[in-house]
Amino acid sequence: MTQPHFLTTPQSRRIAYHQTEGQGPGIVFLGGFRSDMTGTKALFLQDWAAQQGRAFLRFDYSGHGQSSGDFLDGAIGDWFEDALAAITQLTAGPQILVGSSMGGWVSLLVAKEIPQRVAGLVGIAAAPDFTEDSMWEGFSDAQRDDLIQKGQVELPSDYSDDPYIITRRLIDEGRGRLVLRAPLDLPFPVRLLQGTLDTDVPPRVALRLLDHADSPDIRLTLIKGADHRFSSPECLATIAQAVVELLGQRAG
């Protein structure tokens, strides 16, 4: 397997990435919480972009995959800074951001910061504000006490035998990054993709984002029977089609 390149961010974090050259607008994949850039969707998009002669970038946030840092030290703002550094330092011109789960939230933060560098956005089970609306709101009183007193709480994982460890910093820092509590202007086309059987980020989250965001062209596609992984052949084809639509908008 090809070894990654590394970028040192302004915050001195060492970010691993893979990049392929091609025409613009380029495509940037932003992964999910505790995920990395070797997942099915990232590799599918890289291969698809190469077939199209399209520039492509995938990377690991700090504390994820092959990047530096401890996952438990990280928070939404850190991973937003990582994404911002990768996009501004490694790409040129407008990009199509494809954000999966937490990557959807990070994409929205990037879009707010540098809207002139965003040609379009694809959210795959996008999870804006999940630290507050899913985690904190879903905690029991005992879990909230653990978080406040011990600085962390353990949650069961559907994807690993190891529990999710949620830190107080993740929750507290996330409150300064919420995007659904104030106007959200997205001056470019947006495609939201969502599985109806997603229990991690249920369809109501996509509907809330659809209703809240202000975009000249925002559409939600529901795939019946798809879960949070959104990695079946049908789902992958839907992702590619969403990117094609946004590229067509750009060309038009």
Q: C-alpha 68: how far from its chain's center?
A: 19
Asked if 109 contacts 177 with a C-beta cutoff of 8 angstroms, the reply is: yes
Asked if 110 contacts 118 with a C-beta cutoff of 8 angstroms, the reply is: yes
Known catalytic residues are 101, 198, 228
Q: Which residues pair with 124 in a beta bridge?
A: 100, 193
Query: Peptide bond before 202: cis, by omega within 30 degrees of 0?
Result: no
- Phi/psi for 83 (5° steps) reads -65, -40
Residue pointed to by tokens 């703002």: 77
Asked if 46 contacts 18 with a C-beta cutoff of 8 angstroms, the reply is: yes
Nearest Cα to Cα of residue 121 among 185, 203, 33, 59:
185
